[in-house]
């Protein structure tokens, strides 16, 4: 089954995860890029990113050239912002028809539980059943065997 990994990454942790998954699953990737970049340093990063996530904003994205109909599986990867998904992923989900796709979720965070992130993603997707989900803690910034093991187990579920 052809797999697409759709991700947004501000600091590179989610990008790291998407690239690792793509290599292990022989998947394609789609990096979401908002037309207006989020601040990536200091207080503004948390203020604007957090507000955008909490307010469930859907920022405009740079155009991308991917035909979703060509993929049977879509893995959605996001950093955890204010306990939920990053807004660019919300835009993608609202724009694209993922009906009938096998779905999987990935969340990277600096700490804490991504549980609400996964629940919010499932709600946005209209999914009620369990779907494979992977939680990583600072995978690029702080490599660990725990992240590597979790990633391997996640890939095993998808193969």
Residue-wise pLDDT for 46-92, tens only, equals 656 666 776 788 899 999 999 999 999 999 999 998 889 999 999 99
Model pLDDT, residue 42? 74
- What was the pLDDT predicted at 48? 66
- Give the integer Cα–Cα distance in Å for 12 and 127: 28
Helices 145-158 and 13-25 pack at an angle, to 10 degrees, of: 40
Domain of 138 in residue numbering reads as 3-158
What DSSP string describes 100-143?
Answer: T-EEEEEEEESSS--HHHHHHHHHHHT--S---EEEEESTTTS-
CATH code assigned at 96: 3.40.50.360
pLDDT greater at residue 39 or residue 4: 4
pLDDT band for 37, please (50, 70, 90 cuts).
Answer: confident
Rounded to an integer, the average pLDDT of 26-54 is 80
Number of structural domains the chain divides into: 1
């Amino acid at each position: 089954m052809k797999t697409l990994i759709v991700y947004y990454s501000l600091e590179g942790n989610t990008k790291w995860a998407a690239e690792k998954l793509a290599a292990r699953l022989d998947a394609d990737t789609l990096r979401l890029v908002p037309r207006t970049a989020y601040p990536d340093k200091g207080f503004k990063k948390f203020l604007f990113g957090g507000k955008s996530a909490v307010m469930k904003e859907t920022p405009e994205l740079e155009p991308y050239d991917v035909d979703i109909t060509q993929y049977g599986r879509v893995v959605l990867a996001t950093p955890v912002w204010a306990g939920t998904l990053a807004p660019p992923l919300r835009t993608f989900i609202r724009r694209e028809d993922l009906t009938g796709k096998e779905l999987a979720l990935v969340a990277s965070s600096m700490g804490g539980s991504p549980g609400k992130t996964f629940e919010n993603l499932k709600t946005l997707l209209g999914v009620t059943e369990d779907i494979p989900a992977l939680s990583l803690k600072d995978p690029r910034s702080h490599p660990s065997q725990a992240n590597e093991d979790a990633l391997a187990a996640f890939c095993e579920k998808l193969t």
